[in-house]
Amino acid sequence: MKIVEIKSLEYPCLLRQINDPPEKLYCKGSWDANLFNNCLAVVGSRRMTVYGKQITNELVSKIALSGITIVSGFMYGVDAQAHKAALSVGGKTIAVMPCGIDLIHPGHQKDLYEQIIAEGSLIISEFERNFPPARWTYPKRNRIVAGLSQATLVIEGSSKSGTLITAEFAKKFKRKLFAVPGPLTSSLSQATSQLIKEGASLVADPDDVLGYYGLSRSKDSANPFLESNLSELEKDILKKLRQEPKEFDALCRLTKISASKLGTVISFMLLKGLVEEESGKYYVSKSRFSA
């Protein structure tokens, strides 16, 4: 564990500029000053939808691949997915904890906690040792997430979502605010719709965010899986799933192949990250495949 005090030259400059910066940062992982040069806070609902997961993967993986450090709050849902998306492309991420640095909260994300440390990224907290999370520690955590970052990207959230707290901190600190539009029928589109109405910049593509940092998309992120490298059956499955997500039985009927063969092909496509499965339906994985 490393402790960085506010008087230290190592203390992140942007965080020092907020009204009430933490006096100390407790850290685990790889402390590197370069991590803090270009940071983007990514926040969203704990009740992440399939849409939210796909959008998080699509945007964050390409933004992280272009050199932006992804900052989030480690909670399940969009926070955890943002950390995972950054790590999946070899990018860097900072997880800000609402509890003591020695606690893993939520506990079921122990693997993610350890992956962040093992892969050269960083976990930080203003609370030492086993300080327990409480209702008041989450907003304290959110101010650090926003304070470390030149901009904040909101993926999903309800009208009373905690993500709006982080967005308000971003506004208070005079940082850039981005929001992703969502389906009008979803209650988790309320927060982002509200923010866009209030002046947040709409994000429909990674370049909408990267342009703010003066960066362009990495060539490596343009097409992670070339269609020429796929089998004809894999191409056909992806074509059908691009039209709309489908259940296994529907794919069997449409592809006209046996369930056993389709099961084998789908299993390999899942392993390769070409498709994702949720609630019995298969989706094209936008984080790993772009047409």
DSSP letter for each residue of 15-59: HHTSSS--SEEEEEE---GGGGSSEEEEE--SS--HHHHHHHHHH
Contact residues for 184 (Cβ-Cβ < 8 A; gap 6+)? 193
**Secondary structure of 50-105 as H, E, C letters:** HHHHHHHHHHHHHHHHCCCEEEECCCCCHHHHHHHHHHHCCCCEEEECCCECCCCC
Q: What is the CATH number of domain 2-220?
A: 3.40.50.450
CA dihedral 124, 79, 91, 69 (to 10 degrees): -60
Neighbour count for residue 68 (Cβ, 10 Å): 28
Mean pLDDT computed over every residue of the chain: 89
Whether residue 225 has pLDDT greater than 60: no
Map out the domains of the chain as residue ranges.
2-220, 227-284
Nearby residues of 107 by Cβ (< 8 Å), 6 or more positions away:
none
Residue with the bigger pLDDT between 133 and 289: it is 133
Which CATH architecture best describes the domain 227-284?
Orthogonal Bundle (1.10)
pLDDT of residue 144: 98
For residue 183, what pLDDT is reported? 81
pTM (whole model) above 0.95: no
